[in-house]
Amino acid sequence: MSSSDRERERLAALFDIAPSRILYALSTLGVADRVPAGGIPLDELAAALGADPGRLARLVLAAQTLDVVRVGPDRVVHLTEAGLLLRSDRPGSLRAEFSDNSLFTAWGPFAECVTTGRPAYELAHGAPVFDRIGRDPRELATFHEHMRMRAMQLYRPLLPFLLERCAGDVMDLGGGTGGLTELLLGHSTTLKVTLTDLPEVVALVPGELARRHPGRVATVAADLREGVPEGYGTYVLGSVLHDWPDEQALRILTGCARAMGPDSELILLERVLDETGPDARRMGDIWMMAMTGGQERTASQWAALAAAAGLALREVHHGDGELSAVVLGR
């Protein structure tokens, strides 16, 4: 095979949407939740799901190529280690995230997003992503369920640094339903964390969080674009600013700067892109451009944004995962 033929095959594989749609179908149908530890015959699985047996069999047999299921000669379906992540009861589950079809359909007008400057999600659905999600209680709950699961995985590699750096009273800004808050409280006996987000999001914070950590967690409903609560030693913004273009991100940072005391620190948990050259994290930058109109940034871009808000970049700590901790102070 010539090098040109190999490149043709490589690009064709990159363009293939079938693998993502297989994972979507498995997730939205709840296939993995119906597969017990000992496996289940294909016909029984179809009956349990109320699915067409022939079409479900084709879906499951194709899913073997993605290494999420195994189907034996007896047509009994078993989950692989990867397939277990499609179960709704699995720590770090991807089921809710992969079931979100609106994120897939938003990519349709992506080229127009590049030319017009409007997010592809808004072009596809007629409203910005957070506005649309906020109007549907069920979609809002599903979105924050997968954000919570995602937070538990994304921030874990930075946990040792955060536990050492955070002061006793921590403000988890835009903390969703508490993925980061739960990580901090679960690995410290002294930290107190106040979580803030929009009222409809704070209402979804599991009550068990406060029951497990009595006296050490509080919630405050607030819109960060309108102001930030004062009086905390450490402020943390986890994967918030990448949702916004520079103008709105600067507005939030400026609010943080006003709220911070002289000894306070603000820690951004974000991707820090390489200044030049290939960087796989730039795929995240394209996601932000398409979905929210935001962006991922390099260290120099973070420093410039901080300076515009009256803050200085003190340190960039790179963890073992895809995120870094960007420490800002006065």
Q: What is the pLDDT of residues 104-129, one digit of tens each?
A: 999 999 999 999 999 999 999 999 99
How many C-beta neighbours within 10 Å does residue 85 have? 19
Domain residue limits, the chain: 3-86, 134-329
- The answer to whether the CB of 306 falls within 8 A of the CB of 253 is yes
Q: What distance in Å separates the CA atoms of residue 305 and residue 13, rounded to the nearest whole number? A: 38
For the domain spanning 134-329, the CATH number is 3.40.50.150
- For residue 329, give both structure tokens: 């102070």
Residue 138's pLDDT is: 84
Residue 213's pLDDT is: 92
Residue 214's pLDDT is: 93
E strand residue ranges, the chain: 40-41, 69-71, 76-79, 169-173, 192-197, 217-221, 234-238, 265-270, 272-273, 297-298, 312-318, 324-329
Q: What distance in Å separates the CA atoms of residue 53 and residue 26, rounded to the nearest whole number? A: 14
Q: What distance in Å separates the CA atoms of residue 209 and residue 231, rounded to the nearest whole number? A: 23
Q: Which residues of the chain fall below pLDDT 50?
A: none
What's the 3-state SS for 259-277?
HCCCCCEEEEEECEECCCC
Question: In this structure, which topology does domain 3-86 adopt according to CATH?
Answer: Arc Repressor Mutant, subunit A (1.10.10)
- The answer to whether the CB of 307 falls within 8 A of the CB of 139 is no
Type of residue numbered 146: H
Residue 330's pLDDT is: 87
Q: What distance in Å separates the CA atoms of residue 275 and residue 304, rounded to the nearest whole number? A: 14
> Per DSSP, what are the bridge partners of residue 194?
171, 218
Q: In the 8-state DSSP scheme, what is residue 80?
A: -
**Residue closest to 325 by CA, chosen among 265, 263, 243:** 265
Residue 91's pLDDT is: 81
**Helix %, strand %, coil % for the chain, to 5?**
50, 15, 35
Longest dimension (CA), the chain: 68
pTM, two decimal places: 0.87
Residue 118's pLDDT is: 95
**Residue closest to 242 by CA, chosen among 171, 174, 292, 173:** 292
